[in-house]
Amino acid sequence: MEASERDWKRLGEEFMTRRKRLGLSREALAGLTGGAVTARTIGNYEHARFPVKGGTPAGYYAVERALGWAEGSIEEVLAGRQPILRDEAPAPGPAAAEVEALTSQVMTEYGHVLGFGELCERAGGGVPERDAFDAAARRLAESVPGVSLAVLWRRGVALAASRPHGEGEYAPSDDVARAYRAVDDADDPQG
């Protein structure tokens, strides 16, 4: 038996209820799916913008797992029953405003972390160790829901543009602006 529009609406309501019970924003829940769906897609699911005939999209199952539901819970809800919770359901997350503030702080601190790596290298630390440190910091920051790789990259470009180019020689003051323009030009295929 195929699910009706009413069944999909009920599933969306169950998604929203569980998300709110866990204290998660749509953005935070999207992060818990490992990038399988966006916050906008979760909004579509919650508001019963149900899929076309032919099956349930994989994104629904990513949300199912992220909400701490057992496998098969989507089918249970579509059949008029309750979802089944896994024992290892995620702990309630921070409120949306707190998540936003923390994400902003991560973005700010990322530049400081890169600066620390540069300082260590200038003080005689190893280049391979600094590169590994920068890569680890980037991976950790990217693992935070809502942190944008593009913004992290831009901050790295700004920091790179402000590095000395040689012994006692500093980059021109407009290097950061030129680096940002180059990033914007690379992002715009129309050029």
Domains of the chain, each with CATH number or no CATH:
5-78 (1.10.260.40), 96-187 (no CATH)
What's the rounded Cα separation, in Å, for the pair 11 and 78? 6
pLDDT in tens, 52-76: 666 778 888 999 999 989 888 999 9
* DSSP labels, the chain: -PPPHHHHHHHHHHHHHHHHHTT--HHHHHHHTTTSS-HHHHHHHHTT-PPPSSS--HHHHHHHHHTTBPTTHHHHHHTTS---B-TTPPPP---HHHHHHHHHHHHHHHHHHHHHHHHHHHTT--HHHHHHHHHHHHHHHHTSTT--HHHHHHHHHHHHHTS-SBTTB---TTHHHHHHHHHHHHH-TT-
Q: pLDDT tens per residue, the chain (191 residues)?
A: 577 888 889 999 999 999 999 889 999 999 888 888 999 999 999 988 766 666 778 888 999 999 989 888 999 998 999 998 887 444 555 566 676 677 777 777 877 888 888 889 889 999 999 888 888 888 887 777 766 655 555 555 444 444 455 555 555 555 555 555 554 554 444 54
Residue pair 171/161 in contact by the 8 Å Cβ criterion: yes
Rounded to 10 deg, the angle between the 127-142 and 96-122 helix axes is: 170
Residue pair 144/31 in contact by the 8 Å Cβ criterion: yes
What's the rounded Cα separation, in Å, for the pair 100 and 58? 27
